[in-house]
Structure 1
Amino acid sequence: MLVAVSDLHVSHPENRRAVEALCAGHCEDWLILGGDVADDLTDFEWVIRLVAARFYRVIWVPGNHELWCTPKEPMALPGEMRYRQLIEICHQYGVLTPEDDYPVYTAENGQSFLIAPIFTLYDYSFRHPSDFTPEQGLERARRAGAVCSDAFFLKTYPYPDIRSWCTERVQYTEARLNAVSGQLPMIFINHFPMLQVLTQSVQPQEFSIWCGTQQVASWLSRYPVCLVVYGHLHMHGSTVLEGIPHVEVSLGYPKDRHGRDASGMLTVLDTLLM
């Protein structure tokens, strides 16, 4: 069985308890871990070690929170170096990342799928109005009091800014997808939604500039994508667009769940692959 969850945010005690309870009885299942696991390396490694021991295979993509450099970690490495640290931790426990060969998952009906973990970040192109420049979009967000904490904690070294890093990641990922396109139906995993329309319910709407990039929208028609798994928005649910299910799998902060039982935090994806 293929299951997914993102946005564990285990610095919240309630979420940490939920994660501790989530893993029983999954030794034959594949887990997609869609980013925002934790804000610091200690908590991140705790989660990775736990899920790696209890699932048959784990596939992780980074969110924005894993990339933070906060006062809790005064010696934290910035940007790309931080990302490479996270990769090293995952590899220590056998967890697959966006830097590894794409694995093939075979569903119970015998159909095989190529799972593509993606790391592309954002570039302020999810703007409203769309004719705003990135700078105008950022200023609009500041005036609305909707500045993402990334502005303070997410460092982009060695890239001059987040847009440059995003563009590099898009180009890198596109080359990898081109190399395998057409082999099998594909499952995309990205922390961020891959279409701006999926951010329409984000409030305040000005925050959507931190939610993805327009550069990847064409991938959904260029490649044989049958399912997209994402998080970030803390809006658990599924939307079908142009025949492709886009499944938001966030656990989210305790306040986001509105009474939803955290014990049902894993989203089963096999039924969407039939």
Structure 2
Amino acid sequence: MKLYAVSDLHLSSAVNRAALATFDARPEDWLIVAGDVGETEDHLNLALDTLQPRYAQLVWTPGNHELWRLPRSSPGGVERYERMAALCRARGVLTPEDPYPVVAFGDRTVRIAPLFTLFDYSFRPDHVALEDVILWAREDGIGSVDEVRLDPAPHLDRAAWCRARCAETERRLDAACADGLPTVLVNHWPLRPQDVRLPSIPRFAPWCGTTLTRDWPTRFNACAVIYGHIHMRGVKREAGVAYHEVSLGYPRDWEGRVEPRDCVRPIL
């Protein structure tokens, strides 16, 4: 049995929906889907309808696009996240709300921890104050749709929701990882600021994670960290940890560069 991962399917794109249909079937293996499947429950259902018959088990964690309040009259914030998680759980897909499973892949036994941490604008230079970060990004023409569509209700703001999610997740990881078993940490956003590679839009970094998680790979004995969001596929190894950015991305991110099925990355 093997473990694979992919993220950022962005099924609002008809091109990406067609690409999804080409993904290989691996009925004995597990697949991590690390967020940004799409913006609607229909997008999430399409992904599950396609991928569940092809894999033994799916693991899902949300990205920012799943949390967008579309249409504006629909639920947002925590309620929206809980609806998406409930949709997955009703279909047997593991989510950040489930116990972290312990699984053997070949001769290696690991604990898979799907996380949901959001962002708090702390991936910014030291000289930029929190209250100035959005204006600082706008100086380079950079912004994020999250500022309009990602409703943090009932939290005061997105940073407060991020802090709450990180505190709860940290508590659960502390309890679950006391045995020292190697972990696979799965999050849509990078866990460390040094993993955010945005050469063309460096000032987008504040929407890419939180420094609250920067020591989690070491602290929770990760052998692999899975993330997406930045649409820069690749893997780097550092101090025994493999950091995998596993996004498909928008068509402009993969057309003419890679076959979509090859974006499903082998992890273990």
Q: TM-score range by the shorter chain?
A: over 0.9
Equivalent residue in structure 2 for 1:219, among 203, 216, 219: 216
Amino acid at match of 1:85: R
Amino acid at match of 1:8: L
Q: Which residue of 1 aligns with 2:152?
A: 156
Q: By how many angstroms is 1:123 displaced?
A: 0.2
Equivalent residue in structure 1 for 2:90, among 74, 89, 92: 92
Q: By how many angstroms is 1:64 displaced?
A: 0.2
- 8 A Cα contact 1:8 1:36, kept in partner: yes
Distance 2:98 2:25 in 1: 27
Q: Normalised by the size of structure 1, how large is the TM-score?
A: 0.93
Distance 1:91 1:181 in 2: 23
CA RMSD of aligned residues (A): 1.3
- 8 A Cα contact 2:121 2:209, kept in partner: yes
SS at structure 1 position matched to 2:26: coil
- 8 A Cα contact 1:60 1:117, kept in partner: yes
Q: Which residue of 1 aligns with 2:184?
A: 187
- 8 A Cα contact 1:122 1:166, kept in partner: yes
Distance 1:217 1:263 in 2: 30
- 8 A Cα contact 1:36 1:66, kept in partner: yes
Q: Which residue of 1 aligns with 2:47?
A: 47
- 8 A Cα contact 2:198 2:205, kept in partner: no
In structure 1, stretches of 5+ residues that fail to align are none
What fraction of aligned residue pairs are identical, expressed as a percent?
A: 37
Of 43-52 and 145-154, more deviation after overlay is shown by 43-52
- 8 A Cα contact 2:16 2:250, kept in partner: yes
Q: Which residue of 2 aligns with 1:266?
A: 264
What are the residue-to-residue correspondences of 1:134-153 with 2, within 5 Å?
Answer: 134-153=130-149
Equivalent residue in structure 2 for 1:253, among 241, 250, 253: 250
Distance 2:44 2:108 in 1: 33
Dislocated runs of 4+, deviation >6 Å:
none
Is the counterpart of residue 170 in structure 1 residue 166 in structure 2? yes
Residues 166-199 of structure 1 deviation map (CA, whole Å, 9 limit, x = unaligned):
0000000001001111331101001011110111
Q: Which residue of 2 aligns with 1:8?
A: 9
Q: By how many angstroms is 1:259 displaced?
A: 1.8
CA 1:34–1:202 in structure 2 vs 1: closer, same or farther (change >3 Å)?
farther
Q: Which residue of 1 aligns with 2:62?
A: 62
- 8 A Cα contact 1:235 1:248, kept in partner: yes
Aligned length: 265
Is the counterpart of residue 75 in structure 1 residue 73 in structure 2? yes
- 8 A Cα contact 1:189 1:228, kept in partner: yes
- 8 A Cα contact 1:49 1:93, kept in partner: no
Q: Which residue of 2 aligns with 1:232?
A: 229
SS at structure 1 position matched to 2:27: coil
